[in-house]
Chains A and B, each alone.
Chain A
Amino acid sequence: MGDEQHRWAMVVDLRKCIGCQACTVACTMENVVPPGKFRTIVSSYEIQLEGETRNMVLPRLCNHCENPPCIPVCPVQATYQRNDGIVLVDNERCVGCSYCVQACPYDARFINPKTNTADKCTFCVHRVEAGLLPACVETCVGGARIFGDLKNPQSEVTKLISKHSTRGLRPEMKTRPQVYYIGLDDRISGKVEGTASLWNLQAAMGKENKS
């Protein structure tokens, strides 16, 4: 399933996210996700740096990993990866054991209370195959979510990944996630000395940060 000529991926440019949750609700509407369950959501964080407090938002979804830990644990092969990289669940095969839910380091899966089967982001594969974009991408107000084909050198995602330093979530898990974040790396890793402030307060701030 899926064409191996493509590798679908998402770039999330965190600089452009305004935390409006349009993606969250669009996903709920498009995929008729039961209340209180999320295939995607934007988490928001308050980050305390030396001398200033910052707001950070982080859209999260299934990473459609190159090395998905959810697949080997499935006892009935209900969850699988297509040749184009999209990780899916066949809800007719799934027995709802939730091993995959526990195996996912991103908390991206849940048991759908209506179907009692594992559920998660499909990259809106039904839309992608119709030549459309995933619902969350279509409605992203800040334009933070960019979806496309990594095997196409002209695609926006390929260009963005080559232009920017991007980072996936939890690299230590060796899952090779295919959701690439711009603006994630040096911001939450504790290295805050780069918080150059505006104007000539910079010197004073720099001093504080070194302490």
Chain B
Amino acid sequence: MLTSRRKIIKTVTAAGAFSLFGFGFSHTANKMLKTVFDKESTLDPISGYAPKPEFNVDLKTGELTTNPNQTVSYTMCMGCTTVCGVRVRVDNETQQVLRVTGNPYHLLSSDPFLPYETPIKESFQALSRFQEKGLLSRSTACGRGNAVLEKLRAADRVKVPLKRVGPRGSGQWAPISFEQLVKEVVEGGNLFKEGHVDGLRAIRDLKTLIDPEQPEFGPVANQLAVFAPFKDGRLRFAARFAKASFGTVNFTGHRSYCGLSMRSGYASLLGNWKKQPHLKPDFANAEFLMFIGTAPGNAGNPFKRQGQLIAKSRSEGKLKYVVIDPVLTNSDNMAASDRSRWIPIKPNTDGALAMAMIRWIIEEQRYDEMFLRQPGPAAAKAAGEASWSNATHLVIVETGHPAQGKFLRSTDLGAVFVTKKGKKPAAVVIDSVSGQPMAHNKAGEAELFFTGDIELSDGSEVAVKTSFSLLREEAEKHTLEEYSSICSIPADTLADLAREFTSHGKKAAVDTHGGTMGSNGFYNAYAIVMLNAMVGNLNWKGGTSASAGRFKEIAAGPRYNLKKFKGKVKAKGVGLGRQRFPYTKSSEYKRRVAAGENPYPTRAPWYPLSPAMSSEYLTSALNGYPYRLKALILWSANPVYGIAGMEAQVKEKLADPKELPLIVSIDPFINESNTYADYIVPDSVLYESWGWASAWGANLTKVSTARWPVVEPAMAKNAEGQVIQMETFFIAVAKCMGLPGFGENAISDKEGNQFAINTAEDFYLRAAANVAYDSGAVPEAKDEELALTGVDRIAGLLKSTLKLEEWRRVAYVYARGGRFENSDQSYKGNKLKHRYKKPMQIYDEELATARNTLNGEHFIGTPTWVEPKLADGSLLEKTFSTSEWPFKVISTKSNLQSSHTIGIVSLQQIKPKNAISMHTLDAEKLGIRSGHKIRVITPGGAVTGVAMVRNGIQPGVLAIEHGYGHRELGARAHRIGNTIQKANSMAGYGVNINDLGFSDPTRKGLSVLADWVVGSTARQGLPAKVERV
């Protein structure tokens, strides 16, 4: 009907293979006759199979009556990395989860969210029609959050420990006991009749060096790597085992193949490479937002909160926003009229857009001068600013000077500085009033554009420029017209964007994310996020926030110290991804220099700035550079599927036990990575486990989300009667090996009493006690609240694990699904209450003094425009020219699928498979129409999928939604014991963008294309060609 209107093109995105409302017109008389006899009776002639409601609320009195056969519990979702607080409705008898919606206390699911002290009964009432409260206190789950409960009962779920019985990757497994699993993994031996395999006991050697010639690599224990990519609230338990107890440095998340480019851009801006904090706009109060390479409401983290706030702000608030991305998504909304707008851009050119805006803003003097001129915290405070920057700090630019690229320090001018860990002498600025060089923390307003020579205390002179001058120079390297032709956005539009962005004071912000994951991603991201500094929006209402953080849980908390323990190891050594360690301090560098050789290039890049580089782990281990692995533990990890180009690089070597002798996976499902495992340890799914998570961003108040088993876990139990999951496994391994931090005396309280970690509960419940007492103790829960929320099921555990005075307070926390600061703590006047303290860095000294180890060159210390590159800094275009590869492939994030949700019927019924989007103009040239089968070819591989021809995409771009094209997760049938699983063909539908990734020809050995500065995997802008099949 709607499709018949002119100018309307219905996309195949939503309804896909299933038409809108089913197949209404296909019935025949034959079928009609059949129905009279075949009718299946339902629970109710009107409501069919719908279970009875969980509550009944009297609309006159508001009185709540609960359904005695169901329980509603507040816990945590794990459908994506946002990990929202949810309410889970469970059938008491069958222990089946009936439905999942949001937790009304939780900021990630509700806006407004309920005050924390709200009684449970009122929280349920608040969801009802009583006084129409449910419309205001609505607390939601997204499509995925509604659907993921299917995973609990998935047919292909692993519930018992498995050991491979065929060659690696052959899909043949034997169920084994937990005790056999632990023994074999710890002790090793001739486990597969393929020869001896070292067990974890042999590998956990903290004394013997991996390579005495290269002592910086650290001990043999580093030859165990543990992947823990999902911050689902249990990661710090895994970290305790891997880093602090076993003692390997190689414990890694997923950042390097997720959003490392964005995180690195912010690391530079916010001056913290180790933790990589990042900013999110204050969606509720901003007036103008630019989303570059990110799509709020369509995807991103926190998914629902961004979507909800943007929906509200564009209809009821003052917000206007622009989404700048190669692909049109649900971030745009035509009904919102001019409040929302999509501007297409060429992939990998966001930096040109941002530098153009920076150039225009500086030239037109539209930057927030008051903010930028404040050189330190004291000056900023006096000026009424909420943050400050290093825009006025002087950088030594004298060519060949030993401190070139570094800030001029007060000590250079003769100041006395007492060395303190983590502290540097003050930087120097030109004080505006006196016109003299002064320490940044002493000066008032300072000069933004000083360039000149400064006399040092030793009498020498050195050429310096302010950070802001250096930024201006970089921005002025190209004209607006040049930037325009690079990114394909008209120069007038660039200027208009810059004008609009600087027309709202501090109530404007930019946000970016995965769209920057190209091989020039770092500088694109740094340039984008620098726009926030141009308007000085950090810590302002309507500006940006670095998150309010969380309560102390798995920490040195107010009740228990869950960080420190006797015998805790401080893992040491160069990480497997050659990260956070300067190559210039390595033995290799010293040896090459001593031999008179050029120390550059290295076999593979070193990443002195980046944190754990998981996307380098597999290739590094298999290349043996810096060193090989003896064992790999994958927990909830699927790097082979998730890293662009990885599968083709590693599949043969991973299948060869000689290359990597022991692979253990802890996972409820068999995926594209653990299909190569030697052992699979079953793990909990969703609402079966314990955990403590928080919001990833966009939280102006503190959030600590509790996950607790609201249904009986489906995994098998060990001989001690504990369900088998990650924690059970690590505890058993640690105890078997006698490692510190587990078993007896693993936790201490304030009085020095010692407690054991023999179960997951021993750990997480004490974290809960920390939460309950942090920043003032919560009240004690009454029996009624325990009964209403199902916390009565775990009351026995709380009592037996915790102290008498603790357990009811902990129950209060679990009853509410965590602990949340009230929303009235968001602001203090027109500023945020929780503020980021460090300055915004217009110039990043750490960046400027680091080098690319393939070409030996320093990086530029401010944002700048660089084209997509290879690892050695040469242009991608030079090796993979547009004439040969006329298209660019990009990955888009799905609003339905995560990397691990394929096969869920209630999701896949909406979009059974992904399509390959291309622009109408490109398709016309190639004779391609929507629905045609097409093949996309890159230097690394090819995929064949279905074309979707549309106008909502930049010409020359092929876009593929991530999450489809699985080869495992049910797509392939494994043999377990004598049972062959039933394959789920739906799980294999569509194509995987990551099959199109490729290795970097400027690197030796196995590799994937990555950003040339920080090593983030390139999945955006892969050169490609396309053909009809």
Residues on A lying within 8 angstroms of B by beta carbon are: 13-22, 24-26, 28-32, 35-38, 41-49, 52-58, 60, 88-93, 95-98, 101-102, 104-112, 114-117, 119, 122, 124-128, 130-133, 135, 137-144, 146-148, 155-156, 169-170, 182-184, 187-190, 192, 194-201
Contacts and interface: CB of A to CB of B under 8 A. Distances in A.
B4 to A, nearest CB: 11
A15 B5 CA distance: 21
Given A15-B311, A190-B7, A198-B322, A56 B910 contact: no
B212 interface: no
B20 A47 contact: no
A147 B145 CA distance: 22
B92 interface: no
A44 B330 contact: yes
Nearest to A26: B146
Name which of A30, A35, A109, A117 has the most chain B CB atoms within 10 A of its CB: A30
Contact of B132 (A141, A155, A199): A155
B337 interface: yes
Given A18-B307, A156-B135, A199-B500, A43 B45 contact: no
B44 to A, nearest CB: 7
Contacts of B130: 131
Interface stretch (B28-36, B189-197, B379-387, B760-768): B28-36
A200 B291 CA distance: 20
Contacts of A28: 146-147, 906, 909
B140 A139 contact: yes
Contact of A48 (B7, B15, B135, B905): B7
A144 B138 CA distance: 11
B303 to A, nearest CB: 8
Contact of B138 (A32, A143, A169): A143
Contacts of A98: 24, 27, 31-32
A142 B297 contact: yes
B35 A95 contact: yes
A52 B7 CA distance: 12
Given A28-B146, A55-B331, 13 more contacts: A15-B336, A18-B308, A21-B910, A26-B101, A28-B906, A32-B51, A48-B7, A49-B7, A101-B24, A127-B53, A138-B127, A140-B140, A196-B337
A19 B334 CA distance: 12
A58 to B, nearest CB: 7
B331 to A, nearest CB: 8
B193 to A, nearest CB: 44
Contact of B20 (A19, A60, A200): A60
A132 B14 contact: no
A52 B978 CA distance: 59
Contacts of B310: 18
Interface string B300-316: 00001001101110110
Interface in B34-78: 34-36, 38-42, 44-53, 55-59
A55 B334 contact: yes
B895 interface: yes
B45 A91 contact: yes
B315 A132 contact: no
B99 A190 contact: no
Contacts of B45: 90-93
A29 B146 contact: yes
Interface in B904-931: 905-907, 909-910
B146 A22 contact: yes
A136 to B, nearest CB: 10
Contacts of A25: 143-144, 146-147, 906-907, 910
A194 B34 CA distance: 53
A142 B308 contact: yes
Contact of B8 (A52, A132, A188): A188
Contacts of A127: 53
A127 B492 CA distance: 54
25 contacts: A18-B308, A19-B298, A20-B307, A22-B140, A22-B146, A25-B906, A28-B147, A28-B906, A38-B22, A45-B3, A91-B39, A104-B24, A109-B21, A114-B40, A114-B49, A117-B39, A130-B53, A131-B129, A133-B127, A133-B135, A138-B134, A156-B132, A156-B135, A198-B322, A198-B338
A179 B99 CA distance: 25
B10 A35 contact: no
A22 to B, nearest CB: 5
A142 B24 CA distance: 29
A170 B1 contact: yes
Which of A41, A57, A131 has the most B CB atoms < 10 Å from its CB? A131
Contact of B129 (A18, A106, A132): A132
Given A131-B129, A198-B320, A14 B40 contact: no
A189 B47 CA distance: 36
Nearest to A182: B335
B32 A56 contact: no
Given A21-B910, A116-B35, A131 B56 contact: yes
Contacts of A115: 39-40, 42, 48
A143 B42 CA distance: 32
Interface in B322-342: 322, 328-339, 341-342
Contacts of A18: 297-298, 307-308, 310-311, 330, 333, 895
